[in-house]
Amino acid sequence: MPTTNPFFSTTTGYTGEQGLIDDLVIEQIAIYGVDLMYMPRNNVNLDRLLHESTKDVFELAMSIPMYVRSFDGYDNSIEMLSKFGVRSSDEITLQMSRSQWKTYYAPYMKSYNNAISGQGTMAPNDPLKGYTAERPKEGDLIYFPFDGGIFEIKYVMFDQPFFQLGKGYVYELQCEKFEYSGEDFSTGITEIDTTELKAEFYSLAFQFETGGSGTFDFQEKVTIYDLSIFGETLDEFRLYNDAGYLHGVPTVGAKVLEWDEPKMNLKVSDLTDLDPNQRNKLTDNPSINKFDSVLVIGNTTGASWKSVKATEVEKAFDDSNIIQTEFDSIHVVDVQDMDPFGFL
Protein backbone atom coordinates (compact mmCIF):
# COMPACT_ATOMS: atom_id res chain seq x y z
CA MET A 1 0.00 0.00 0.00
CA PRO A 2 1.37 3.47 -0.85
CA THR A 3 2.34 5.72 2.06
CA THR A 4 4.03 9.07 2.55
CA ASN A 5 7.80 9.14 2.67
CA PRO A 6 8.77 8.32 6.31
CA PHE A 7 11.96 10.37 5.95
CA PHE A 8 10.01 13.58 5.16
CA SER A 9 6.75 12.91 7.00
CA THR A 10 5.01 15.98 8.44
CA THR A 11 2.79 13.90 10.75
CA THR A 12 4.95 11.25 12.37
CA GLY A 13 8.32 12.95 12.68
CA TYR A 14 11.23 11.86 14.83
CA THR A 15 11.86 12.58 18.48
CA GLY A 16 15.02 14.47 17.63
CA GLU A 17 13.27 16.73 15.13
CA GLN A 18 10.39 17.36 17.52
CA GLY A 19 12.88 18.20 20.26
CA LEU A 20 14.66 20.63 17.93
CA ILE A 21 11.45 22.51 17.13
CA ASP A 22 10.54 22.58 20.82
CA ASP A 23 13.95 24.06 21.70
CA LEU A 24 13.56 26.69 18.97
CA VAL A 25 10.10 27.62 20.25
CA ILE A 26 11.44 28.02 23.79
CA GLU A 27 14.35 30.11 22.51
CA GLN A 28 12.08 32.41 20.50
CA ILE A 29 9.80 32.96 23.50
CA ALA A 30 12.86 33.72 25.65
CA ILE A 31 14.12 36.28 23.11
CA TYR A 32 10.93 37.94 21.90
CA GLY A 33 8.56 37.20 24.79
CA VAL A 34 7.85 38.84 28.13
CA ASP A 35 7.56 37.56 31.68
CA LEU A 36 3.89 37.66 32.67
CA MET A 37 2.25 36.74 35.97
CA TYR A 38 -0.10 33.74 35.80
CA MET A 39 -2.75 33.54 38.55
CA PRO A 40 -4.77 30.32 39.00
CA ARG A 41 -8.37 30.72 40.13
CA ASN A 42 -9.31 29.13 43.44
CA ASN A 43 -13.02 28.32 43.40
CA VAL A 44 -14.55 28.61 46.86
CA ASN A 45 -17.76 26.64 47.50
CA LEU A 46 -17.83 25.25 43.95
CA ASP A 47 -21.23 24.02 42.75
CA ARG A 48 -20.26 20.77 41.01
CA LEU A 49 -23.54 20.65 39.07
CA LEU A 50 -23.43 24.14 37.58
CA HIS A 51 -19.62 24.36 37.94
CA GLU A 52 -19.87 27.84 39.45
CA SER A 53 -18.55 29.17 42.73
CA THR A 54 -19.94 31.78 45.08
CA LYS A 55 -16.50 33.28 45.65
CA ASP A 56 -13.20 33.24 43.78
CA VAL A 57 -9.79 33.82 45.32
CA PHE A 58 -6.44 34.56 43.66
CA GLU A 59 -3.59 33.98 46.08
CA LEU A 60 -0.79 32.75 43.79
CA ALA A 61 1.09 34.52 40.99
CA MET A 62 3.72 32.66 38.92
CA SER A 63 6.09 34.32 36.46
CA ILE A 64 5.86 32.55 33.08
CA PRO A 65 7.60 33.63 29.82
CA MET A 66 5.04 34.16 27.07
CA TYR A 67 5.04 35.47 23.54
CA VAL A 68 2.53 38.24 22.80
CA ARG A 69 1.10 37.19 19.46
CA SER A 70 -1.05 40.31 19.10
CA PHE A 71 2.13 42.39 19.18
CA ASP A 72 0.70 45.37 17.25
CA GLY A 73 -1.91 46.22 19.86
CA TYR A 74 -4.96 44.88 21.64
CA ASP A 75 -7.49 42.98 19.56
CA ASN A 76 -10.97 44.50 19.45
CA SER A 77 -9.57 47.48 21.35
CA ILE A 78 -12.63 49.67 21.95
CA GLU A 79 -14.20 51.28 25.01
CA MET A 80 -17.96 51.21 25.35
CA LEU A 81 -20.04 53.48 27.54
CA SER A 82 -22.70 51.35 29.24
CA LYS A 83 -25.12 51.99 32.08
CA PHE A 84 -22.48 50.50 34.40
CA GLY A 85 -19.77 52.93 33.26
CA VAL A 86 -16.95 52.60 30.75
CA ARG A 87 -16.33 48.98 29.69
CA SER A 88 -13.07 47.99 28.02
CA SER A 89 -13.20 45.08 25.58
CA ASP A 90 -9.45 44.73 25.00
CA GLU A 91 -8.33 41.26 23.96
CA ILE A 92 -4.88 39.73 23.75
CA THR A 93 -3.43 36.46 22.40
CA LEU A 94 -0.51 34.84 24.21
CA GLN A 95 1.59 31.74 23.59
CA MET A 96 3.52 29.68 26.15
CA SER A 97 5.68 26.59 25.80
CA ARG A 98 3.91 23.28 26.51
CA SER A 99 7.08 21.51 27.59
CA GLN A 100 7.99 24.30 30.02
CA TRP A 101 4.52 24.17 31.54
CA LYS A 102 4.73 20.38 31.93
CA THR A 103 8.27 20.48 33.38
CA TYR A 104 8.25 23.51 35.67
CA TYR A 105 4.67 24.51 36.46
CA ALA A 106 2.43 21.44 36.29
CA PRO A 107 4.04 19.64 39.29
CA TYR A 108 3.72 22.76 41.47
CA MET A 109 0.13 23.39 40.34
CA LYS A 110 -0.73 19.77 41.15
CA SER A 111 0.56 20.03 44.72
CA TYR A 112 -1.03 23.49 45.12
CA ASN A 113 -4.45 22.22 44.00
CA ASN A 114 -4.20 19.17 46.25
CA ALA A 115 -3.31 21.38 49.22
CA ILE A 116 -6.45 23.44 48.61
CA SER A 117 -8.71 20.43 48.16
CA GLY A 118 -7.20 18.56 51.11
CA GLN A 119 -5.87 15.62 49.09
CA GLY A 120 -2.46 13.99 49.16
CA THR A 121 0.45 15.68 47.39
CA MET A 122 0.68 13.02 44.65
CA ALA A 123 -3.08 12.48 44.22
CA PRO A 124 -4.45 13.26 40.74
CA ASN A 125 -6.34 16.53 40.42
CA ASP A 126 -10.09 16.24 40.00
CA PRO A 127 -11.36 18.42 37.10
CA LEU A 128 -14.93 18.08 38.39
CA LYS A 129 -13.83 20.04 41.47
CA GLY A 130 -12.31 22.77 39.30
CA TYR A 131 -8.67 21.64 39.59
CA THR A 132 -6.27 20.70 36.82
CA ALA A 133 -2.51 20.95 36.37
CA GLU A 134 -2.26 19.49 32.87
CA ARG A 135 -2.63 22.84 31.14
CA PRO A 136 -3.55 26.50 31.71
CA LYS A 137 -7.22 26.77 32.65
CA GLU A 138 -10.00 28.99 31.40
CA GLY A 139 -10.92 31.50 34.09
CA ASP A 140 -7.34 31.96 35.31
CA LEU A 141 -5.82 35.43 35.07
CA ILE A 142 -2.76 36.98 33.42
CA TYR A 143 -1.19 40.19 34.73
CA PHE A 144 0.12 42.38 31.88
CA PRO A 145 2.74 44.72 33.42
CA PHE A 146 3.01 47.30 30.62
CA ASP A 147 -0.30 49.00 31.40
CA GLY A 148 -1.11 47.24 34.68
CA GLY A 149 -3.97 45.35 33.05
CA ILE A 150 -5.34 41.98 34.12
CA PHE A 151 -6.69 39.60 31.51
CA GLU A 152 -8.88 36.53 31.92
CA ILE A 153 -8.21 33.38 29.90
CA LYS A 154 -11.32 32.71 27.82
CA TYR A 155 -10.08 29.81 25.70
CA VAL A 156 -6.95 27.65 25.43
CA MET A 157 -6.12 26.50 21.88
CA PHE A 158 -4.14 23.29 21.38
CA ASP A 159 -3.75 23.18 17.60
CA GLN A 160 -1.95 26.44 16.81
CA PRO A 161 0.37 25.91 14.96
CA PHE A 162 -1.30 22.81 13.55
CA PHE A 163 0.71 19.76 14.73
CA GLN A 164 4.12 20.35 13.19
CA LEU A 165 5.74 16.93 12.79
CA GLY A 166 2.73 15.48 14.56
CA LYS A 167 3.09 17.40 17.82
CA GLY A 168 1.98 20.62 19.48
CA TYR A 169 4.57 22.87 21.10
CA VAL A 170 2.64 25.83 22.52
CA TYR A 171 -0.57 26.69 24.33
CA GLU A 172 -2.27 29.67 22.76
CA LEU A 173 -4.27 31.67 25.29
CA GLN A 174 -7.09 33.86 24.05
CA CYS A 175 -7.62 36.45 26.78
CA GLU A 176 -10.05 39.28 27.45
CA LYS A 177 -9.80 42.24 29.83
CA PHE A 178 -10.77 41.09 33.31
CA GLU A 179 -13.83 42.68 34.92
CA TYR A 180 -13.69 42.70 38.70
CA SER A 181 -16.78 41.27 40.41
CA GLY A 182 -15.90 40.81 44.06
CA GLU A 183 -12.94 38.41 43.87
CA ASP A 184 -10.27 38.34 46.57
CA PHE A 185 -6.64 39.08 45.64
CA SER A 186 -3.85 38.17 48.06
CA THR A 187 -0.88 37.33 45.84
CA GLY A 188 1.59 39.52 47.73
CA ILE A 189 2.13 41.71 44.65
CA THR A 190 0.84 45.22 45.34
CA GLU A 191 0.01 46.03 41.71
CA ILE A 192 -2.29 43.01 41.57
CA ASP A 193 -3.75 43.09 45.07
CA THR A 194 -4.94 46.70 44.61
CA THR A 195 -7.32 45.60 41.86
CA GLU A 196 -10.24 46.17 44.21
CA LEU A 197 -9.27 49.83 44.52
CA LYS A 198 -9.25 50.30 40.75
CA ALA A 199 -12.55 48.54 40.15
CA GLU A 200 -15.80 50.43 39.71
CA PHE A 201 -17.53 48.35 42.39
CA TYR A 202 -20.09 49.24 45.00
CA SER A 203 -18.43 50.68 48.10
CA LEU A 204 -19.37 52.75 51.13
CA ALA A 205 -17.49 55.64 52.75
CA PHE A 206 -17.84 56.11 56.51
CA GLN A 207 -17.18 59.43 58.22
CA PHE A 208 -16.18 58.73 61.81
CA GLU A 209 -16.46 60.84 64.94
CA THR A 210 -13.51 61.58 67.19
CA GLY A 211 -12.65 59.21 69.98
CA GLY A 212 -11.99 56.08 67.94
CA SER A 213 -8.95 53.88 68.41
CA GLY A 214 -6.62 51.87 66.21
CA THR A 215 -5.70 51.86 62.53
CA PHE A 216 -7.29 49.73 59.83
CA ASP A 217 -5.13 47.70 57.42
CA PHE A 218 -5.67 47.55 53.67
CA GLN A 219 -7.97 44.64 52.69
CA GLU A 220 -8.64 43.89 56.36
CA LYS A 221 -12.05 42.39 57.03
CA VAL A 222 -14.22 44.44 59.36
CA THR A 223 -17.43 43.82 61.27
CA ILE A 224 -20.12 46.52 61.29
CA TYR A 225 -22.54 46.79 64.23
CA ASP A 226 -25.74 48.83 64.22
CA LEU A 227 -26.10 51.47 66.94
CA SER A 228 -29.60 52.38 68.02
CA ILE A 229 -30.35 56.06 68.59
CA PHE A 230 -31.33 55.30 72.17
CA GLY A 231 -28.14 55.16 74.21
CA GLU A 232 -26.02 53.86 71.31
CA THR A 233 -26.38 50.25 72.36
CA LEU A 234 -25.63 47.47 69.90
CA ASP A 235 -28.71 46.60 67.91
CA GLU A 236 -29.66 44.25 65.07
CA PHE A 237 -29.75 45.58 61.52
CA ARG A 238 -33.14 45.59 59.86
CA LEU A 239 -32.28 45.48 56.16
CA TYR A 240 -34.21 44.79 52.98
CA ASN A 241 -33.33 41.63 51.07
CA ASP A 242 -33.74 41.12 47.33
CA ALA A 243 -37.42 40.21 47.70
CA GLY A 244 -38.14 43.55 49.36
CA TYR A 245 -38.80 42.23 52.85
CA LEU A 246 -37.12 43.31 56.03
CA HIS A 247 -34.89 40.75 57.67
CA GLY A 248 -32.70 40.84 60.73
CA VAL A 249 -28.92 40.75 60.42
CA PRO A 250 -26.79 40.70 63.60
CA THR A 251 -23.76 42.25 61.86
CA VAL A 252 -22.55 43.21 58.40
CA GLY A 253 -19.09 42.27 57.12
CA ALA A 254 -16.95 44.25 54.67
CA LYS A 255 -13.38 44.70 53.45
CA VAL A 256 -11.20 47.81 53.81
CA LEU A 257 -10.41 49.64 50.57
CA GLU A 258 -8.92 52.86 51.94
CA TRP A 259 -8.32 54.31 55.42
CA ASP A 260 -7.62 58.03 55.87
CA GLU A 261 -6.92 58.40 59.59
CA PRO A 262 -6.36 62.21 59.65
CA LYS A 263 -9.76 62.74 58.01
CA MET A 264 -11.32 59.79 59.91
CA ASN A 265 -12.71 58.43 56.64
CA LEU A 266 -12.98 54.74 55.78
CA LYS A 267 -13.96 53.18 52.45
CA VAL A 268 -15.14 49.56 52.39
CA SER A 269 -16.48 47.18 49.76
CA ASP A 270 -17.66 43.59 49.43
CA LEU A 271 -20.41 44.12 52.02
CA THR A 272 -22.27 40.99 53.07
CA ASP A 273 -25.59 42.90 53.27
CA LEU A 274 -26.74 46.15 51.72
CA ASP A 275 -29.63 48.51 52.30
CA PRO A 276 -30.34 51.25 49.76
CA ASN A 277 -31.08 54.78 50.90
CA GLN A 278 -34.75 55.06 51.79
CA ARG A 279 -36.64 58.18 50.83
CA ASN A 280 -38.94 59.97 53.26
CA LYS A 281 -40.61 62.88 51.48
CA LEU A 282 -42.48 64.17 54.56
CA THR A 283 -39.30 65.11 56.40
CA ASP A 284 -36.71 67.78 55.75
CA ASN A 285 -34.05 65.09 55.34
CA PRO A 286 -35.19 62.80 52.54
CA SER A 287 -32.26 60.41 52.86
CA ILE A 288 -32.24 57.64 55.48
CA ASN A 289 -29.24 55.36 55.61
CA LYS A 290 -29.11 52.65 58.26
CA PHE A 291 -25.31 52.64 58.06
CA ASP A 292 -25.07 56.27 59.24
CA SER A 293 -24.74 55.30 62.91
CA VAL A 294 -22.65 52.16 63.20
CA LEU A 295 -19.63 50.77 65.03
CA VAL A 296 -16.85 49.44 62.74
CA ILE A 297 -14.31 47.05 64.26
CA GLY A 298 -11.30 45.59 62.43
CA ASN A 299 -11.16 41.80 62.67
CA THR A 300 -7.35 41.77 62.62
CA THR A 301 -6.19 45.09 64.08
CA GLY A 302 -9.06 45.57 66.51
CA ALA A 303 -9.49 49.20 65.38
CA SER A 304 -12.81 50.57 66.65
CA TRP A 305 -14.59 53.67 65.32
CA LYS A 306 -18.14 55.06 65.38
CA SER A 307 -19.59 56.63 62.24
CA VAL A 308 -21.72 59.73 61.90
CA LYS A 309 -22.40 59.41 58.17
CA ALA A 310 -22.26 56.74 55.47
CA THR A 311 -22.39 57.56 51.77
CA GLU A 312 -22.09 55.47 48.63
CA VAL A 313 -18.84 56.14 46.76
CA GLU A 314 -19.71 57.58 43.38
CA LYS A 315 -18.62 55.72 40.28
CA ALA A 316 -17.57 57.16 36.94
CA PHE A 317 -20.42 58.61 34.86
CA ASP A 318 -22.89 58.00 37.70
CA ASP A 319 -24.98 61.13 38.21
CA SER A 320 -27.86 59.53 40.09
CA ASN A 321 -27.01 61.36 43.33
CA ILE A 322 -26.92 64.73 41.53
CA ILE A 323 -30.29 64.09 39.90
CA GLN A 324 -31.81 62.99 43.23
CA THR A 325 -30.48 66.07 45.02
CA GLU A 326 -31.91 68.40 42.38
CA PHE A 327 -35.26 66.63 42.57
CA ASP A 328 -35.35 66.90 46.37
CA SER A 329 -34.67 70.64 46.19
CA ILE A 330 -37.67 71.34 43.94
CA HIS A 331 -40.05 68.64 45.19
CA VAL A 332 -43.18 70.04 46.83
CA VAL A 333 -45.06 67.76 49.25
CA ASP A 334 -48.86 67.84 49.01
CA VAL A 335 -50.50 65.75 51.72
CA GLN A 336 -53.59 65.21 49.57
CA ASP A 337 -51.44 63.69 46.84
CA MET A 338 -50.16 61.11 49.30
CA ASP A 339 -53.70 59.69 49.79
CA PRO A 340 -55.91 60.80 46.88
CA PHE A 341 -58.72 58.32 47.64
CA GLY A 342 -58.99 59.03 51.37
CA PHE A 343 -57.82 55.58 52.47
CA LEU A 344 -56.09 55.22 55.81
Residues 62-71 have pLDDT tens digits of 999 999 987 6
Side-chain-facing half-sphere of 102: CA atoms under 13 Å: 8
Which distant-in-sequence residues (6+ apart) come within 8 Å of 83 by Cβ? Answer: none
Domain holding 247, by residue range, is 202-310
Q: What is the distance between the alpha carbons of residues 11 and 1, in angstroms, rounded to a whole number?
A: 18
Sorting pLDDT into bands at 50, 70 and 90, what band is 317? very low
Kindly tell me the burial class for residue 307, based on how many C-beta atoms sit within 10 Å of its own C-beta (0-12, 13-18, 19 or more). buried
Is 125 in contact with 106 (CB distance < 8 Å)?
no
CA distance 187 to 62: 10
Which whole number is the average pLDDT over 56-64?
A: 90
Specify the pTM: 0.60
Q: Is residue 232 part of a domain?
A: yes
Same domain, 177 and 261: no
Residue 342 CA to residue 336 CA, distance in Å, equals 8
Q: Are residues 268 and 178 in the same domain?
A: no
Dist. CA 256–CA 10, nearest whole Å = 58
- Whether residues 170 and 100 share a domain: the answer is yes
In a domain, 47, yes or no: yes
CA distance 154 to 174: 6
pLDDT for res 343? 42
Euclidean distance between CA atoms 18 and 24, whole angstroms: 10
- Asked whether 130 and 53 are in contact (CB, 8 A), the reply is yes
Q: Is residue 323 part of a domain?
A: no
> 3-class SS at 291?
coil
**What is the average pLDDT across 33-43?**
91
Among 48-57, 124-133, 193-202, whose mean pLDDT is lowest? 193-202
Is there a domain that residue 256 lies in? yes
The number of distinct structural domains making up the chain is 2
